[in-house]
Amino acid sequence: MDMSKYRELFLSEAREHINSLSQLVVTLEQEPGNRETIDALFREAHSIKGMAATMGFNNTARLSHHLEDLLDGFRNSGDIPSVTIDYLLEGIDLLDGLLDDLLDDRPERNTEDFLTKQPVPAADREKKSPDRSIADVDDDESSKAPPEEPDTFQVLIELEKGIPAAAACGILILRELEKSGKVKASKPEMDELREEGDCEQIQAWLTSLVEKEQLKETLLNISGVANVRFIEDRRKNDRRLRRAVDRTIRVRTDLLDQFVNLTGELITHRNMLNTAGSNRNWDELNSALERAGRLIDDLHHNVLQVRLMPLQSITGRLPRIVRDLSRKSGKKVNLQLNGTDVGIDRVILEEITDPLVHLVRNAVDHGIEEEGVVTVSAGREKDLILIEVADNGKGMDPQTLRQKAVDSGVVTQAQAHSMSDRDALMLVCRPGFSTAQEVTETSGRGVGMDVVRAAIRNLGGTLNIISEVGTGTRFQMRLPLSIAIIKILLVRCAGRVLAIPITRVQRTLDLPTSEIQTSGPHRLFRLDEEEICLYSLAETLNLPQAAAGDITWAILTEVRGLRVGLQVDGFLGQRDAFIKPTGFPLNLLTGLSGATVEGDGRVTFVVDPQALLEKHKMVTNL
Amino acid sequence: MALILTYSLGNDLYGLEIDAIQEIIENPVLHYVPRAEGVLTGSINFHGQILAVIDLPKLLGFAGNQRDHRHLVLTSEYRSLVFTTCGVERIVNLEMEFLQPPPDGHDRPAVRGIIDFNETTINLLDTDEVTKQLEDIFAE
Amino acid sequence: MALRVMIVDDALFMRNMLKDIFVRAGYEIVAEADNGEAAPQLYQDTKPDLVTMDIVMPKKSGIEALQEIIVTDPQARVVMVSALGQDALVLEAVEAGARDFIVKPFREDKVLETIRRIVGQD
């Protein structure tokens, strides 16, 4: 039987079980001897064992079996010693690592060492690694990673977003890698790229004698390469979290039933439309069209529902992160999660994973002094999701922040003086501003608050900070329920910047102006032996069209099945953009499909060339 | 009692309930809206929402007059419209029981009712009428 | 010695634009062709260090010209010039042995960066 089609499902489900395992162990540590928790742990390990064995993942199956046996032994006594807690956590980390191997199509890592070793008394462990931090855990793991290939390392090459011919870039990169060593495996593979698969990043396992720094430099020189990372970095936990948002999604059966019903109704309607059409019965046609419109709205709503995933899928690991952080810092921190069953679009979920972890780390590192509670709560607020990370620590003093911002040159004395307290709190989101006296290993580096705010903004959300000295701090993220991210081409038009969805652009054109012919009111150019009409974007917007220079820039698009050129004043590149709906009455304007907010707050409108051309009745006599 | 924000349109004094106003912002950055003309003067980025700025005097047919630098952002119940208008004056506290329907021959546009205040008449803006006019203008 | 470049593009405008960029960078333009048919022979005659090749051209496409050049000289350094939205053609060209590609509209520094890298590689 071909098991490969179940692989994705196995990976996502197993990851969920591992997440609950680690959550349960942290709970158990807080309430030792809770029989129910031990039972739950046993069941989780048992589930993983069954699934892994079915899939033929032997090491994973053996390890989960081992943990299951271990837990079974404590079900009667109901008392797990603290050495065993540590041993369990180590086993869970190992399981997580095994899942990483399977996810990346590597052979499963070795589990013998762990299986044969007895739980070491905590006192001895502490001597060996005095502060068992996340970084230490990772070191342990990377040394355990594929044992048979000690010289193989993994490199992750990220491409710039939205570059043209990304697959071709990918091939050039793989070729470069092959020059510097042996590529054991890559994702995507050369063949996948040849079939012009989408390519955002290249992950490769490489055996090479070339120095990593040198290799990195070479790779960064290739056009389109945005970033090169060698995988062994300390933020492994975060990456795992991101992976927790898997590609598969499970859909409730009642939702599927609704899809079937809606599709059925649509089919019925198509027949009605056909009949009305052939009878030329306009009333019937109109009413059927109206109903079809409503059905499509329902379908759209349901499709969005499918994309929703519970916040839990990323908060599951937070207890473990907080536990490790508190151990390391010697603080006593209790983490509370509320309302994490709220559903969020999976794209948003992926994007807020890092920011959320950062906020929680910040709360532990900078909010809580010695002992306290960090609360992550989520809920619906109208058509937004509110996610709040709160601590009951020392709070932030706007006056201190003002002073610090002046000292570090982020704002002037006068600006600081006229700033409201609310704005002063937001200073922590300025690049180059850090409230911690010293940079801590966990939250002082890597993503900063500026990155957190930018990530939230990019999603069309907002960040709000409420803080009171002595009471604590609350970071509130408000995010849209669902999201529309599309690729856009930015163009210049009559001195303005406009965006065009890339799906509307067949290609960009640079036409020698001298080769554009005029025929009556029309301008024509030749492309692939075809005469094509050229229109002006500016004119469709009732703006003056500036005279082109030697070259006329245009996009090739299509209106009612005909290829047409649409002249612009220049191209400013393409990128991913979060498209916001616009308020009344902007939403009534034909040809405006939304707007996107730039990093600096400027608003760029997205125009639909087809709608504009049709509206303007420019393409009438074609 | 109700709090009313008063502003002048032409030679008249108009009023809008404070409850309908989400925020008053000074000199917001106006962004270009493609195909915008007439009463639609642009858009603003209001806490991440892209809202339309409506020239209220122009919409209601009042000529001339400098626009006030303060813009009124209405609540979502009033479709989060943003009004630019003239001479935003002050907030007054009025007894709404004294609100009267506009008398016959009252030719001021978009008035829900009138109320006397210190010997002048305040015309209470009919926001529904404003929305309806906008719908008529922009429905294509 | 100055880098010797050959430019193949059917649009005079594009040829001139590239030529200006290369001349400013101190390169020598040894040959120009306005179609794919003439390119392989011209390559043989001049043996340039580098070729920039438009993809869509009359008579013979840039990809066909590239294939013919590669057959005679597997070490040939050919950089494709494409418009946005020609991903499939770019991929085909890279497969056929193009060393890299630049996308119109391009920026001078990007073009030179690409070329310096390719020349530096060998």
pLDDT digits (tens, 9 = 90+) for A330-340: 899 999 999 98
Q: For residue A530, with 0-12 CB atoms within 10 Å meaning exposed, 13-18 middle and 19 or more buried, which class applies?
A: exposed
pLDDT band at A556 (very low <50, low <70, confident <90, very high): very high
CATH code assigned at C10: 3.40.50.2300
pLDDT at A497 over 90: yes
From A467, A500, A456, A527, select the one nearest A591 (Cα to Cα): A500
Contact A580 B50 (CB under 8 A): yes
| From the candidate CATH numbers 2.40.50.180, 2.40.50.140, 1.10.645.10, 2.130.10.10, the one assigned to the domain spanning B2-138 | 2.40.50.180
pLDDT at C43 over 90: yes
Per the omega criterion (within 30 degrees of 0), is the bond before A512 cis? no
Average pLDDT over residues C29-57: 92
Residues, chain A: 622
pLDDT band at A55 (very low <50, low <70, confident <90, very high): confident
pLDDT at A369 over 50: yes
What are A79-124's pLDDT values in tens digits?
Answer: 788 788 888 888 998 999 898 888 877 788 888 888 887 665 444 4
State both tokens at A301: 């709503």
In A392-495 the beta strands, taken as DSSP E runs, fall at: 462-468, 472-480, 485-493
Chains that touch B (3 or more CB pairs under 8 A): A
Ordered alpha helix ranges (H), A449-533: 449-458
User: Would you list which residues of chain A are within 8 Å, Cβ to Cβ, of chain C?
Assistant: 164-168, 171-172, 193-194, 196, 221-223, 489, 505-510, 512, 528, 550-551, 553, 556, 570-571, 574
| From the candidate CATH numbers 1.20.120.160, 3.40.640.10, 1.10.101.10, 3.10.105.10, the one assigned to the domain spanning A4-144 | 1.20.120.160
| pLDDT at residue number A80 | 80
| CA A331-A88-A112 angle, 5° bins | 135
Contact A509 C110 (CB under 8 A): no
Q: What are the respective helix, strand and coil percentages of chain C, to the nearest 5?
A: 45, 20, 30
A342 close to A310: Cβ distance less than 8 angstroms: yes
pLDDT band at A132 (very low <50, low <70, confident <90, very high): very low
pLDDT at A207 over 80: no
Contact A167 C91 (CB under 8 A): yes
From A197, A531, A526, select the one nearest C56 (Cα to Cα): A526
| pLDDT at residue number A245 | 46
Q: CB within 8 A of B78, min separation 6: which ones?
A: B20, B127, B131
Half-sphere exposure of A61 (CA within 13 A, CB side): 10
Average pLDDT over residues A268-272: 84
C-alpha–C-alpha distance, residues C8 and C6, integer Å = 7
Domain ranges of chain B: 2-138
pLDDT at A461 over 80: no
| Angle between the N-to-C axes of helices A58-75 and A82-103, in degrees from 0 to 180, rounded to the nearest 10 | 160
What are A501-550's pLDDT values in tens digits?
Answer: 887 888 999 999 999 998 888 899 998 888 899 999 999 998 888 888 89
Q: Tell me phi and psi for residue A108, to 5 degrees.
A: -65, 140
pLDDT at A214 over 90: no
| pLDDT at residue number A445 | 38
| pLDDT at residue number A386 | 92
The interface predicted TM-score (ipTM) is: 0.90
- Third-level CATH fold of A311-396+435-480: Heat Shock Protein 90 (3.30.565)
pLDDT band at A368 (very low <50, low <70, confident <90, very high): very high
Round the average pLDDT of chain C to a whole number and report it: 89
Cα distances (Å, whole numbers) of residue A192 to A93, A156, A195: 32, 17, 5
**Any CB–CB contact under 8 A between B135 and chain A?**
yes
Cβ-based neighbour number of residue A263 at 10 Å: 12
Terminal alpha carbon distance of chain B: 41
C-alpha–C-alpha distance, residues A9 and A58, integer Å = 18
pLDDT band at A620 (very low <50, low <70, confident <90, very high): very low
> Which helix (H) or strand (E) covers residue B92, if one does?
strand B86-94
C-alpha–C-alpha distance, residues C9 and C102, integer Å = 13
What are B47-100's pLDDT values in tens digits?
Answer: 778 999 999 999 998 877 788 889 999 988 888 899 998 888 888 888 888 888
C73 close to C48: Cβ distance less than 8 angstroms: no
pLDDT at A426 over 90: no
Q: Tell me phi and psi for residue A229, to 5 degrees.
A: -130, 140
**Any CB–CB contact under 8 A between B34 and chain A?**
yes
Cα distances (Å, whole numbers) of residue A274 to A260, A277, A279, A294: 21, 5, 8, 18
| Angle between the N-to-C axes of helices C87-96 and A166-180, in degrees from 0 to 180, rounded to the nearest 10 | 20
Q: For residue A524, with 0-12 CB atoms within 10 Å meaning exposed, 13-18 middle and 19 or more buried, which class applies?
A: middle
Cβ-based neighbour number of residue A489 at 10 Å: 22
Contact A512 C114 (CB under 8 A): no
State both tokens at B29: 């950055």
pLDDT at A146 over 60: no
> Which helix (H) or strand (E) covers residue A361, if one does?
helix A346-362
Containing structural domain, residue C62: 4-121
Compute, in degrees rounded to 10, the torsion defined by CA atoms B2, B3, B7, B13. Answer: 30
Probe site for chain A from B22, B25, B35, B80 (most A CB atoms < 10 A): B35
User: For residue A290, which amino acid is it?
Assistant: E
Average pLDDT over residues C96-118: 86
DSSP state letters, B3-38: EEEEEEETTEEEEEEGGGEEEEEESPPPB--TT--T
Q: What percent of chain A has pLDDT over 90?
A: 17
Q: Domain count for chain C, please give it.
A: 1
Q: Tell me phi and psi for residue B118, to 5 degrees.
A: 45, 50
pLDDT at C57 over 90: no
pLDDT band at A26 (very low <50, low <70, confident <90, very high): confident
Q: What is the DSSP letter of A548?
A: P
C-alpha–C-alpha distance, residues C96 and C82, integer Å = 15
Average pLDDT over residues A269-298: 85
Q: What is the DSSP letter of A364?
A: I
Contact A603 B50 (CB under 8 A): yes
| pLDDT at residue number A582 | 84
State both tokens at A89: 């956590």
A502 close to A542: Cβ distance less than 8 angstroms: no
**Any CB–CB contact under 8 A between C14 and chain A?**
yes
- Third-level CATH fold of A485-615: OB fold (Dihydrolipoamide Acetyltransferase, E2P) (2.40.50)
Cα distances (Å, whole numbers) of residue A266 to A180, A282, C116: 57, 19, 58
In A398-529 the beta strands, taken as DSSP E runs, fall at: 462-468, 472-480, 485-493, 496-501, 507-512, 517-519, 522-527
Which residues, in sequence order, are bridge partners of residue B86?
Answer: B8
C-alpha–C-alpha distance, residues A320 and A323, integer Å = 5
| pLDDT at residue number A384 | 78
* Contact residues, C window 88-117, toward A, CB-based 8 Å cutoff: 88, 90-91, 93-95, 99-105, 110, 113-114, 117
Cβ-based neighbour number of residue A306 at 10 Å: 16
C-alpha–C-alpha distance, residues A51 and A10, integer Å = 7
Residues of C in contact with A222 (CB under 8 A): 100, 117
| From the candidate CATH numbers 3.60.150.10, 1.10.3720.10, 3.30.70.1110, 3.30.420.40, the one assigned to the domain spanning A152-244 | 3.30.70.1110
| pLDDT at residue number C108 | 84
For the sheet containing C28-33, what is the strand order? Answer: C28-33, C4-8, C50-54, C78-83, C100-104
